[in-house]
Amino acid sequence: MEKQEGCQEKKHKRRIHYSGTHPKSYREKYKEHQPEKYADTISKVIQKGGTPAGMHISILVQEILDFLQIRPGQQGLDATLGYGGHTLEMLKCLEGQGHIYALDVDPIELAKTKKRLQEKGYGPEILTVRLENFANIDKVAEEAGKFDFVLADLGVSSMQIDNPERGFTYKAEGPLDLRMNPEKGISAAERIRDISQEELMGMLIENSDEPYAEEISKEVVTRIRRGEKIETTTALHQAIEDALGFLPVSDRKEAVKKSSARTFQALRIDVNNEFEVLYEFLDKLPDVLAPGGRAAILTFHSGEDRLVKKSFKQLKKENIYSEIADEVIRPSKEECIRNSRAKSTKMRWAIRAEE
């Protein structure tokens, strides 16, 4: 009898229930959050061109490795660790000899990735992971010395986009946050609380080339001024949808979709100071590269790419870089089919001049 009572205390924890035949929300996709346990499910999602919840599929991996030409014994830097896919492949190239430093500003994902890589056998003897903004690569180099190769993937990781609690997408209900590090700075909701229409309109134009910046900024600011709260992703999405209500019905749905994506991008860039951070990184990059060191940067929108292109061209003119990419490298058609999030990716590279 005592044994039965003891057994009754341990209640079985059932999985999350969802309507329909397949899970739709981020939390319901419990199998995708456990890739080590449900490999078949992960494989099926990827084969269909999707990204499993809580994961990120690295882009242009082979092209990056072909350019960086990593050799055993070298020292490298992954300035944007993310899910760690690029880092893992670079670590394999070292064959147990050398070291990689990996940085990220997201404390939530950094801890998960560090654990994941440690479980694959990459501990502190070959990999140093730090919660650090890549604008501070000079601080890392002061301790580590110069790097033979540097990679920076400027895109937002799928884990951040897909998690509604982070507020990176209009496609799911969540707090309008958009911070890479939710422990620092102010959220997007706080940012727009007292913003003027002129400032918001300028932000939308500068950060995402939004064609309906005037209409959207007017609608958002008008709502806030009359006491409405825009503190969730869906509230902002609704404001954008109403702002574009003047468009023909046949065009409206696609326009709202694209403008929502651009508006969220513009706010994300602003609250994370992404352009200022990129300026700093590009300015300091040559000084952390060893002679002949190689740097590859992945960008995901025109504003980022313009900054990288301009910096590389200017430093090549000053003979600081001996070579730079003449044209951007893009993912193949096959990769874009496998991973739809690869479509907007551009890669540029530079080689530090020999001293």
Tens-place pLDDT, residues 231-280: 999 999 999 999 999 999 999 999 999 999 999 999 999 999 999 999 99
Alpha-carbon span 335 to 342, nearest angstrom: 7
Instruction: Give the pLDDT score at 7.
Output: 43
Percent of the chain with pLDDT over 90: 72
Exposure pattern of 116-128 as b/e (b: 16+ CB <10 Å)? ebeeeebeeeebb
Domains along the sequence of the chain with CATH = 61-158+275-352 (3.40.50.150), 181-271 (1.10.150.170)
Which residues fall within 8 angstroms of residue 263, CB to CB, at 6 or more apart?
A: 170, 204, 208, 210, 216, 236, 240
Alpha-carbon span 321 to 48, nearest angstrom: 41
Identity of the highest mean pLDDT range in 28-37, 136-145, 168-177:
136-145
Instruction: Give the pLDDT score at 19.
Output: 59
Alpha-carbon span 53 to 31, nearest angstrom: 9
Instruction: Give the pLDDT score at 56.
Output: 55
Lookup: tokens for 98: 């050398």
Instruction: Give the pLDDT score at 342.
Output: 87
The average pLDDT across 176-204 equals 95
Give backbone dihedrals phi and psi of 61, rounded to 5 degrees, phi first: -60, -50
Q: What is residue 292's three-state secondary structure?
A: strand
- The single residue listed with the structure tokens 């969802």 is 18
Average pLDDT of the chain is 87
Tens-place pLDDT, residues 85-130: 999 999 999 999 999 999 999 998 899 999 999 999 999 999 999 9
Tens-place pLDDT, residues 268-313: 999 999 999 999 999 999 999 999 999 999 999 888 999 999 999 9
Band (42; pLDDT cuts 50, 70, 90): very low
Identity of the highest mean pLDDT range in 145-159, 206-220, 338-352:
206-220
Instruction: Give the pLDDT score at 20.
Output: 58
Instruction: Give the pLDDT score at 172.
Output: 87
Lookup: tokens for 264: 């969220």
Give backbone dihedrals phi and psi of 80, rounded to 5 degrees, phi first: -140, 85
The average pLDDT across 45-58 equals 54
pLDDT above 90 (res 5): no
Instruction: Give the pLDDT score at 101.
Output: 98
pLDDT above 60 (res 9): no
Instruction: Give the pLDDT score at 34.
Output: 47
pLDDT above 80 (res 38): no
Instruction: Give the pLDDT score at 49.
Output: 46
Band (17; pLDDT cuts 50, 70, 90): low
Lookup: tokens for 337: 């089919």
Residue 61 CA, chain-centre distance (Å), reads 15
Tens-place pLDDT, residues 319-355: 999 999 999 999 999 999 888 888 989 999 999 999 7
